Structure 1
C-alpha cells in the first residue's frame, strides 16, 4: 500500500520489536513468578526511553528517532532477559523432541494472539486507510490514555496466572475461586472510578498530555473509557479462568468474535464518524468478547458474584460522584493543578469510603503497607 510504503524506514525500525519480543521470553520469568526482576528491568528501560525521548525527539521531523526510542523503551529489556536466561536453563540441542503434543495448544494461543492483535489494532489501520493521518493522530491521543489504564487494570492478571494455574492443577478449588473473586473485586473497584474520572476530565487530560490541538480526541476518549472495565473483566474470565482450566479454545472464539465485530463496525462507522466511529467499534468489540466469555462461565460466575461486595462499590460511587461533579466545576488556571487536585480529592474519597466500610482488598493493602513499614523500623 502506498501509504505504508512511504514510511518504510519507520516500519523497518519498529519491526525490531518483533525479534526482541521473540528472544525476550518474558513468559519464562512470569511462569517462575520473578516479578521483582521483570519490574526492575521494565522500569529501567522506561526511564531510559524517557531520557532518550527528551534528548532525541525535538520536533515533528524526528519521527524515526521516536520510533527507535519507542522500541528501546518497550522491548529493550528483551536483551537482558535473553542473556539472563542462561542462569535459569542450559541452552543446548537436547534431541528426542515431542512437538506433536504441544502443537494444538501452541496454535490455539497463536491464533488467539493474532485475533486479539487484529481487533486491537484494526481500528487504527482502518482509520489510516479510510481517513488520513490527522484522524489517526487524534485517535492515538485517546488510545494511549486508555492503554495506560488498561495496563494497570490487567497487571494483576499477569501476576495471578501462575498461582491460579497451580491451584487448579492441585485441585484447590476453594483457593482458586477466592483468588478469582479478589481479582473481580480489584477490577471493579479500580476500573469504574477510573472510567468516571477520565470521562469527566477527558478534555483537560487530552489537553495536558497532547496539547490543545488534539481536542478532537476528547469524544473518542470518552467512548473508549468503558473498555477499561470490559478488558479488565475479560482478562479475568479469559486469561485467569478459561486458560488455566484448559479451555483456551473458548477464549479464541471470543476474540475472533471481537475481531469480526470490530471490522464490521469500523467499515460502517469510520466513513461518517471518523475516530469516534473507530472508538465505537472497539467498545462494541470488547463488550462482545466479555459477554461471550461470561456466557461460557455463567455457572462459575454465579458462585463468584455472590462473594463480591457490590454494596461497598455502590456506596463508594454514591459518595464520590457528587464530589467529582463539584470539583469539576472549580476553575483553575493551571491544567496540572486542576488534574492533580481533582485526582487526589476524587480517588482519596473513594479510598477513604472503602476503608471506612472495611472493604477487604483495601484493608489487605493497608495492612501490607503498615507491615512493611514496621519491618523497616
Structure 2
C-alpha cells in the first residue's frame, strides 16, 4: 500500500481537529445560553453514562485496531481478515452492551425519568461500532476522514440553529451532537468494500486478538473512570446544575487537548509501522518531534487560558456559568499533561507492545481520581472534580515516565529551554498587562490579548532560532 505523507496527514488531521474545535466554539455559546447549566448538564450526564456502554461495545479496538491494521496494511488479504475478525467481535460486544444498557436505564429510577434522552444518546454505541475509524486511521486515510467529517459537522451546525430554541430542546441537542460526531460512521461502513475484501473467510483466528484487546479495554476502562466518573459522581453527589458548570470547564479543556494531541493521532500508525519494521532511528525521530510539538504549543495555551479563564467562560457560556471559572483554572494544566502522556503512552508504549504499562499508569490515575472526587466534590463541587482530574493526569504521566526512564534518555526533544522560556516571559508580561486593559468587549479583549501574546511568543522563538519553528519558517516563508 502506498505510504502517505506525514505532512499531508498532519494537515488533514489538523483541519479535522480545527473543525472539531470550531463546531463547539460556534454552537456551545448558543446552546449554553438556550439550555442553561441544567440542560447542558442533562446531556453531559447522558453522554457520560452511555460512554461506559460504548466502552464495553468497543472492547479496546479503537486503539488496538489502529496498530493491528497498520502492521498488516501491505497485505490486503491479511488486512481484510483482521478487520472482519475485529468487527465481528465488536458487533457481538455491542449486543451485550445494549442489553446491559436497557437493564440499567429501566432499573435506576433517576435514569428511567430521563430515558428518552438516554435512548437517544445510546445511538452513539452502534455508530462507534460501524464507524470503524480504527481502520481508516491505520491506513492513514486522513483526507477522506476529514472531508466526510466536515460534511456532517456542517449539517449538524445547521440543524443546531434550526431545532434548538428553548430549554426543553436538550434532546434535540443530544441527537444533533451525535449526528455531528458520528454521522460519518454510516458512510465509513458502506465504504469498506473499497478497502478490504468483504467475502467471509473459512477460518478466523479470534484468539490472537483477545489478550491485547482486553489489555486495551482495561486501559479504556481505567481512562473512562477518571475522564467520565467525575461527571457521574458530580451528578449523583451534587446535581446536574453542577455537571453543567463542570461541562463548561471541560469543553474548553477538550478544545485545546484535541489540538495538542492532533499530531499524535497522525503519528500512531506510522510509529507502529516503523517499530514493526525495526526502523529505530525513524521511530525515535518521530517521538522527539511529537514531544517538542506538545511542549511548544501546550505551555503557552495553558498560560493564556488560566489568565483569561473568566473572559473565556463569559464568551463561550455566559454569566450563568461564572461559577465554573475556578474549575477552568484548575483543569487547564491537564492540557499539557494529557499531551505529554498521550505521547509517552499511546505513541511510545503502545507501538512497542507495552500497553500493560499504560494500563498500570491509568489505573493509578483512576484510583487517585476516585479518592479525590469522594473528598473534594461534596465540598467544592465542579472545582473539586477538576482537582481530581488534574491530580489523576499528573499521576498517569509520572508513572509512564518512570516506566520509560531508559527509553526517554534516548529520545530527547529538540526543545531548547532557554528559547522557550526566553520567549514566554515577555509574552506572559504582555498577556497579564492586557488583562487590565479597559476594554468592555470580552471578545475584543480575548482577541487582542491572544494576538499580542502568541505574536510575541512566536517572534521570540524565531529570534532565538528555536529549531522546530525556525525550520518551518525557513522552509515555507524564506524559500518562497
Which interval holds the TM-score relative to the shorter structure? over 0.9
Distance 1:356 1:47 in 2: 40
User: Is it true that 1:187 corresponds to 2:294 in the alignment?
Assistant: yes
Report the counterpart of residue 97 of structure 1 in structure 2. 204
Which of the numbers 224, 232, 236 marks the counterpart of 1:117?
Answer: 224
Distance 2:437 2:256 in 1: 25
Deviation, structure 1 residue 141: 0.6
Report the counterpart of residue 104 of structure 2 in structure 1. none
Report the counterpart of residue 461 of structure 2 in structure 1. 354
Report the counterpart of residue 328 of structure 1 in structure 2. 435
Report the counterpart of residue 191 of structure 2 in structure 1. 84
1:17, 1:71 within 8 Å by CA — same for their partners in 2? yes
Report the counterpart of residue 49 of structure 1 in structure 2. 156
Deviation, structure 1 residue 267: 0.7
Q: Aligned pair in 2 of structure 1 residues 306, 43: CA closer, same or farther (>3 Å)?
A: closer
Which of the numbers 270, 290, 297 marks the counterpart of 2:404?
Answer: 297
Deviations 1:289-327 (A, max 9, x none): 111000000112123336432222111212211110111
Report the counterpart of residue 160 of structure 1 in structure 2. 267
1:185, 1:309 within 8 Å by CA — same for their partners in 2? no
1:141, 1:206 within 8 Å by CA — same for their partners in 2? yes
Distance 2:129 2:285 in 1: 34
Residues 67-78 of structure 1 correspond to what in structure 2 (within 5 A)?
67-78=174-185
**1:62 aligned counterpart, secondary structure:** helix
Distance 1:151 1:317 in 2: 22
Deviation, structure 1 residue 366: 3.2
Distance 2:189 2:175 in 1: 20
User: Is it true that 1:151 corresponds to 2:258 in the alignment?
Assistant: yes
- Structure 2 stretches of 5 or more lacking a match? 1-107
Residues 1-377 of structure 1 correspond to what in structure 2 (within 5 A)?
1-305=108-412, 307-367=414-474, 369-370=476-477
Distance 2:221 2:444 in 1: 42
Deviation, structure 1 residue 334: 1.2
Deviations 1:260-284 (A, max 9, x none): 1111110111111111110000000
2:313, 2:321 within 8 Å by CA — same for their partners in 1? yes
Deviations 1:69-88 (A, max 9, x none): 11001111111111111111
1:57, 1:66 within 8 Å by CA — same for their partners in 2? yes
Deviations 1:181-230 (A, max 9, x none): 11111101111101100000000100110001100010000000110011
Distance 1:241 1:358 in 2: 28
**1:305 aligned counterpart, secondary structure:** coil
- Structure 1 stretches of 5 or more lacking a match? none
Distance 2:473 2:391 in 1: 37
Deviation, structure 1 residue 365: 3.3
